[in-house]
Amino acid sequence: MRQEKIWFVTGASSGFGLIWTEAALQRGDKVVATARDPKKIDNLVKTYGDSVLVLPLDVTKRDAVFGAVEQGHHHFGRLDVILCNAGYAYMSAIEEIELSEARANFETNVFGTLSVIQAALPLLRAQGSGHILTMSSIGGVASFPTAGIYGATKFALESLTESLAGEVAGFGIKTTIIEPGSFSTGFGAARKMAPTMDVYDDLRHAIRAGFKPETTGNPLATAEAILSLVDVEEPPLRLILGDWLLPILKDVYQERINTWENWAKVSNSAQGTQS
In the chain, the domains with their CATH numbers are 6-269 (3.40.50.720)
* Catalytic residue positions, numbered: 136, 150, 154
List, for residues 9-44, the tens digit of each pLDDT value.
999 999 999 999 999 999 999 999 999 999 999 999
Please give the pLDDT value at position 2. Answer: 80
Q: Does the pTM exceed 0.85?
A: yes
What is the separation of C-alpha 135 from the centre of its chain, rounded to a whole number of angstroms? 1
Q: Which residues of the chain have pLDDT under 70?
A: 188-189
CB distance 82 to 140 below 8 Å: no
CA distances from 20 to 115, 196, 239, 262 (A): 21, 35, 15, 44
Angle, helices 15-26/222-231, rounded to nearest 10 degrees: 60
Q: Got the DSSP string for 186-223? A: SGGGG-B-PPP-GGGHHHHHHHHHTS-GGG-B-GGGHH
**Quick check: helix, strand or coil at residue 3?**
coil
Please give the pLDDT value at position 71. Answer: 98
- Residues 6 or more apart in contact with residue 53 via CB below 8 angstroms: 30, 31, 32, 33, 71, 72, 75, 76
What is the separation of C-alpha 189 from the centre of its chain, rounded to a whole number of angstroms? 17
**Parallel, antiparallel, or unpaired for β 130-135 and 81-84?**
parallel
What distance in Å separates the CA atoms of residue 148 and residue 204, rounded to the nearest whole number?
13
β partners of residue 55 = 34
What distance in Å separates the CA atoms of residue 106 and residue 149, rounded to the nearest whole number?
8
Please give the pLDDT value at position 1. Answer: 72
- Residue 171's Cβ-count burial label (10 Å; 0-12, 13-18, 19+) is middle
What distance in Å separates the CA atoms of residue 220 and residue 25, rounded to the nearest whole number?
14
What distance in Å separates the CA atoms of residue 177 and residue 189, rounded to the nearest whole number?
23
